[in-house]
Amino acid sequence: MERVRILSLKGISRRLQALIRDGQAESARVWTLCRDMHLAARQKNQPWPGKREFHEATRGGKFALHSQSVQQVFRAFDAAVQSTRENRKAGCREIRYPYKDKRFYPLMWPAQAMCLEEKRIVLPMGRGRHSLVLPRPAWLESPRACKIVWNGVHDELHVSIPETGGPPDTTAPAEKHATVDLGQIHQAAVVTNTGEALVVSGRGIRSLKRLHSKQLGEIQKKRANCQKGSRRWRKLGRTRAKLTLRHKRRVRDLRHKGTRAVVDFCEDRGIEALFVGNPDGVRRKHAGRHHNQRMSQWEYGKDIQYLEQKSEQDRIACFTGSERGTSSRCPVCGHRHKPKGRIWRCKTCGFEGHRDIVGAVNMHPIAFGQGVPFPQRITYLRLGNLRRSSSPDTGQRCLAESQASSTTPETARVPSGSSPRLAICG
């Protein structure tokens, strides 16, 4: 199992920025070539090209990149094609094969291409070209696979770090198991077969997304009154990128804290198997433009991914499946109706309970083949107090600053006076 640690490249020199930008443009050319080969094969009903054909088409120094960086790009393209193919076979016909033209694509290196010196990371760019020299963090002890990604404001170095601990033992049946019902208002509702339950609030994530949507709308309204390409138009674009990057960091932090609380809750109670319901069918329902926007911003796939990774780290068997019909069925008498509000009230037997806990209770017969009683005690948890900025109305201040005229040159993407900082993504 691996996780990604992020090294911010915010304070690198302009020369190094230019080398990275040129390399990302070359990486995009490799991706576009693979896209053209795959599209031509589909249009002519010919066998699709694979890694071997991509390797033959990209070899020979045709691109200003290290040979292993080129290989990483067409391997990523082939993985995207295979993933799309499997999803389309599973019924997701709206997913398209790679079709867009890319101007830039991340620079990637395998572990064997990275060279570590005492205080530097040396990433080769190919024969006859200058290598990328970056500061080496203290936590990087040996060469690892990495890539350089543009986050909208500055570049970042993403390094894959292996995690300790092996996969869980799934051969023996689990005596203690739990189910997780994902949601928007409540990020996760957990019910164990021992009669315990946990509800993790997701209102912090929901409020951040609403705030971000309002900020983007205000910026777009201001940009509509500007001439495209003007100084104010570009400055508003940089403000939008800065706010978006901050929003992603805050939401990612809350998602990690919420999923970590779920796994810790299960680990403390000796849970051996964890079932996570996949709410994909709920997201596809049309429910008006306002609710559709909230549903489109629901990143339940990341919640499932985080739960799988953290469960594997703690040696808990985690799997997912359909949760269809679990939120509309009474856990006592089995009566079905569409619930309203956060309290589930049965019209037949008079049962009342938490709506999300009802869904998690009804997942036990689907996942483990046995029913569980409705828990008598529910633990509510609100994670991650949203830290306020030292100055009030930070978003409004950024919008106000973007309207001021800039007197500094705009040739560089990153200020040259700042120093590199480290940021860790669990």
Asked if 242 and 153 touch (Cβ cutoff 8 Å), the reply is yes
Asked if 51 and 70 touch (Cβ cutoff 8 Å), the reply is no
pTM for the whole thing? 0.74
Q: Tokens 């995207």 sit at which residue? A: 80
Compute the distance between CA of residue 300 and CA of residue 281 in angstroms, rounded to an integer: 12
Compute the distance between CA of residue 237 and CA of residue 156 in angstroms, rounded to an integer: 20
Specify the pLDDT at position 233.
Answer: 94
Specify the pLDDT at position 423.
Answer: 34
Asked if 198 and 189 touch (Cβ cutoff 8 Å), the reply is yes
Specify the pLDDT at position 424.
Answer: 32
* pLDDT tens, per residue, the chain with 426 residues: 678 899 999 889 999 999 999 999 999 999 999 999 999 999 999 999 999 999 999 998 899 999 999 999 999 999 999 999 998 988 778 889 999 999 999 999 999 999 999 889 999 999 889 999 999 999 999 999 999 999 888 999 999 988 765 555 555 556 889 999 998 889 999 999 988 999 999 999 989 999 999 999 999 999 999 999 999 999 999 999 999 999 999 999 999 999 999 999 999 999 999 999 988 777 677 777 777 887 888 888 899 999 998 998 888 999 998 888 888 888 888 888 888 888 888 888 888 888 899 999 999 998 998 889 899 889 998 876 655 544 444 455 555 554 544 433 333 333 333 333 333 333
Strand order in the sheet with 132-135: 115-116, 120-123, 132-135
Specify the pLDDT at position 237.
Answer: 93
Specify the pLDDT at position 418.
Answer: 37
Number of other residues whose CB lies within 10 A of the CB of residue 82: 12
Specify the pLDDT at position 421.
Answer: 33
Looking at residue 194, its amino acid is T
Length of the chain: 426
- Domain 177-203+251-381: CATH architecture, name and number where available: 2-Layer Sandwich (3.30)
Q: Which residues contact 74 (CB under 8 A, 6 or more apart)?
A: 30, 31, 34, 51, 54, 55, 58
Specify the pLDDT at position 410.
Answer: 35
From the list 74, 79, 90, 86, the residue with the least C-alpha distance to 37 is 74
What residues does CATH 3.30.420 cover in the chain?
A: 177-203+251-381
